[in-house]
Chains A and B, each alone.
Chain A
């Protein structure tokens, strides 16, 4: 069995070591090999791919729940969806969740994931009370906020050790429904204004038509909202649609994306409208389609996600969107988001500003285009998200992450750089 990433690229053979007990894990790490932890395979790129993989997903027990404080103690392989399955009906929700619930708690920490409420709640690490991690020598340590191990591990892409379990705090909700407001904008200026106008609301995300041109560049549907207050918590996860095979590579082209974007944008009413939607469709629209990554064909795809500081976001985004629409390599999914303050972690992605995420199928000429986009990102003081990356250069990466030297020193000092590696960490010399 070989494990691949969500982007299905690159594909390499690997040996998979299931994490079942800490004793077995310690023995595994004793071997003279390099390892990387792998959760549920939802990272797009090569950050959890290597020749030797510790498969953390099977390590998924719930250990304790403190009902008074809403603190859940859970093993690292448990999925966010498992947590929702168990606790939504009891009135609890994740404080921070990404656009898929099919990731592990360990992966959420290692990527220090962020959600539609980053401008209010920050990254996942904010809700992590503490976690236990097995280091290179097999020793188990507990890391709390403020510890260097915490700063390096949250966002550290699994390169400090194997996260074993964590205590995370949940938030109270009174409904499984979201009161959503959709704002349809005509250009980037309107989009930015709308983000500012609604930033008091906890959740916001914009879908951008990345093939729009000229004065329509940056037109979007901005969706903002918060949980309703109706007390309806009878949550039952729904069954899923499946994409049974890889689509042929011609299925996704400039025309099909244009048609999709046109339909999506035009089905929404003009101006400002209100809806009541289930949290599953608000937070996790794509989770209802199993294996949706197969629509990009067997060569795989990548997600390009970058963030720009607030003051340079408008100019930078305009440039980048212009370049993309000219290239004709658009994607169905182009997500724009406003972020709040940066945290102290060494490699966490968010800084205060705007981030854009785009899917591209892997094809000739793509990496050249992304290299050109990188130049703009660097020029405007931005950075690339490691969890999505499969091709950024070391130079571009380093310009975006000033704390990288601290991270390297910490890894060196604790023998981590000898034991934990991914294809990405080697490529970027992390």
Chain B
């Protein structure tokens, strides 16, 4: 059997990823804070795919619990996908330290805590894949969401370093940078249709990129060029713009 561990399994992207991986013959560990809400979804996956699906209670911000949760999995996973993310509105986050801390912990510190453990294990086994869902928001600090963006930037850098370290042991690391995605998190935002991906498209893209051993994935692909431009606007001009 080959298990994939999906962390932050309640999100829309994670759900679509679960469908893609189970359909392609992987068993799944779905990890989330409150797994009770995933019971029906677990049944859905099992009925659709005939693969095993196990629910794992895991809080990405409870760093101390990560080692024991990982060790208690009945079988080592073949791969891990970290989808956990947290984004509140910038004006709330910048005034409330607990919100700032939570943003950093969910998007960065928690992921590092968990992936350190898994990376060591995979390195020793000389196999496995790691996928981290970061964000285009990490490519440049913008006034609209720089706390979230800086945590994602740190996560992207972490994944980049991890990829270089694990290359020799044959463990692949994929950084996913989605642009706008039509999910619960963005439900109330007015997003441009052409730049907005459906969670199912993102999941397909991630699966393909992971299977082919790609390093960095922008999804939709156009974001790579959008961010290329945004990254190259000089700071003295950028600060006057409201991008």
Task: Please indicate whether A and B come from the same complex rather than being unrelated chains.
Answer: yes
Give A contacts to B, CB under 8 Å: 61-65, 72, 82, 85-86, 90
Give B contacts to A, CB under 8 Å: 23, 40-41, 43-44, 47-50
Quick one: closest A residue to B50, CB to CB? A90
Quick one: closest B residue to A85, CB to CB? B23
A33 CA to B43 CA, complexed, in Å: 34
Residue in B23, B41, B44, B49 with the greatest tally of chain A CB atoms within 10 Å = B44
A102 CA to B199 CA, complexed, in Å: 18
Residue in A62, A63, A82, A85 with the greatest tally of chain B CB atoms within 10 Å = A62
A61 engages B23 (CB within 8 Å): no
Q: Which 6 A-B pairs have the closest CB atoms?
A: A62-B47, A61-B44, A86-B48, A62-B44, A65-B47, A62-B48
B50 engages A63 (CB within 8 Å): no
Sample (15) of A-B pairs whose CB atoms are under 8 Å apart: A61-B40, A61-B43, A61-B44, A62-B43, A62-B44, A62-B47, A62-B48, A63-B43, A63-B44, A64-B47, A72-B47, A82-B48, A85-B23, A86-B23, A86-B47
A62 CA to B45 CA, complexed, in Å: 8
A63 CA to B50 CA, complexed, in Å: 12
Residues of the B chain whose Cβ atoms lie less than 8 Å from the Cβ of A63 = 43-44, 47
Quick one: closest A residue to B47, CB to CB? A62
A405 CA to B41 CA, complexed, in Å: 42
A352 CA to B23 CA, complexed, in Å: 40
A300 CA to B184 CA, complexed, in Å: 31
A90 CA to B41 CA, complexed, in Å: 21
A90 CA to B23 CA, complexed, in Å: 12
Give the Cβ gap from A244 to chain B, nearest Cβ, in Å.
9
Residues of the A chain whose Cβ atoms lie less than 8 Å from the Cβ of B40 = 61
Quick one: closest A residue to B45, CB to CB? A62
Give the Cβ gap from A190 to chain B, nearest Cβ, in Å.
45
Give the Cβ gap from B11 to chain A, nearest Cβ, in Å.
15
What's the count of A-B pairs with C-beta under 8 Å? 23
A86 engages B43 (CB within 8 Å): no
A86 engages B41 (CB within 8 Å): no
Residue in B43, B47, B49 with the greatest tally of chain A CB atoms within 10 Å = B47
Give the Cβ gap from B205 to chain A, nearest Cβ, in Å.
11
Residues of the A chain whose Cβ atoms lie less than 8 Å from the Cβ of B23 = 85-86
Give the Cβ gap from B117 to chain A, nearest Cβ, in Å.
33
Residues of the A chain whose Cβ atoms lie less than 8 Å from the Cβ of B48 = 62, 82, 85-86
Give the Cβ gap from B137 to chain A, nearest Cβ, in Å.
24
Give the Cβ gap from B99 to chain A, nearest Cβ, in Å.
27
Give the Cβ gap from B165 to chain A, nearest Cβ, in Å.
35
Residues of the B chain whose Cβ atoms lie less than 8 Å from the Cβ of A65 = 47
Give the Cβ gap from A58 to chain B, nearest Cβ, in Å.
10
Give the Cβ gap from A22 to chain B, nearest Cβ, in Å.
12
A63 CA to B44 CA, complexed, in Å: 6
Determine which of B41, B49, B50 lies in contact with A61 in the assembled complex, contact meaning CB atoms within 8 Å. Answer: B41
A65 CA to B49 CA, complexed, in Å: 11
A64 CA to B23 CA, complexed, in Å: 16
Residues of the B chain whose Cβ atoms lie less than 8 Å from the Cβ of A90 = 50
Give the Cβ gap from B116 to chain A, nearest Cβ, in Å.
35
A96 CA to B49 CA, complexed, in Å: 22
Residues of the B chain whose Cβ atoms lie less than 8 Å from the Cβ of A62 = 43-44, 47-48
Residues of the A chain whose Cβ atoms lie less than 8 Å from the Cβ of B47 = 62-65, 72, 86
Give the Cβ gap from A219 to chain B, nearest Cβ, in Å.
42
Quick one: closest A residue to B22, CB to CB? A86
A65 CA to B43 CA, complexed, in Å: 10
Give the Cβ gap from A235 to chain B, nearest Cβ, in Å.
11
A62 CA to B53 CA, complexed, in Å: 14
Give the Cβ gap from B30 to chain A, nearest Cβ, in Å.
14
Given contacts A63-B47, A72-B47, list 8 more A-B pairs with CB under 8 A: A61-B44, A62-B48, A63-B43, A63-B44, A65-B47, A85-B48, A86-B47, A86-B48
Residues of the B chain whose Cβ atoms lie less than 8 Å from the Cβ of A64 = 43, 47
Quick one: closest B residue to A89, CB to CB? B23
Quick one: closest A residue to B44, CB to CB? A61
Quick one: closest A residue to B204, CB to CB? A239
Residues of the A chain whose Cβ atoms lie less than 8 Å from the Cβ of B49 = 86
A82 CA to B40 CA, complexed, in Å: 17
Residues of the B chain whose Cβ atoms lie less than 8 Å from the Cβ of A85 = 23, 48
A90 CA to B50 CA, complexed, in Å: 10
Residues of the B chain whose Cβ atoms lie less than 8 Å from the Cβ of A82 = 48
Give the Cβ gap from A228 to chain B, nearest Cβ, in Å.
24
Residues of the B chain whose Cβ atoms lie less than 8 Å from the Cβ of A61 = 40-41, 43-44
Quick one: closest B residue to A87, CB to CB? B48
A72 CA to B48 CA, complexed, in Å: 10
A183 CA to B169 CA, complexed, in Å: 60
Residues of the B chain whose Cβ atoms lie less than 8 Å from the Cβ of A72 = 47
Residue in A61, A72, A82 with the greatest tally of chain B CB atoms within 10 Å = A61
A64 CA to B48 CA, complexed, in Å: 9
Give the Cβ gap from A368 to chain B, nearest Cβ, in Å.
36
A27 CA to B34 CA, complexed, in Å: 25
Quick one: closest A residue to B46, CB to CB? A62
A63 CA to B23 CA, complexed, in Å: 16
Give the Cβ gap from A329 to chain B, nearest Cβ, in Å.
32
Give the Cβ gap from B204 to chain A, nearest Cβ, in Å.
8
Quick one: closest A residue to B49, CB to CB? A86
A174 CA to B42 CA, complexed, in Å: 29
A61 CA to B47 CA, complexed, in Å: 9
A86 CA to B22 CA, complexed, in Å: 10
A85 CA to B204 CA, complexed, in Å: 14
A72 CA to B50 CA, complexed, in Å: 13
A320 CA to B46 CA, complexed, in Å: 51
A304 CA to B207 CA, complexed, in Å: 42
Quick one: closest A residue to B41, CB to CB? A61
A61 CA to B23 CA, complexed, in Å: 15
A64 CA to B49 CA, complexed, in Å: 11
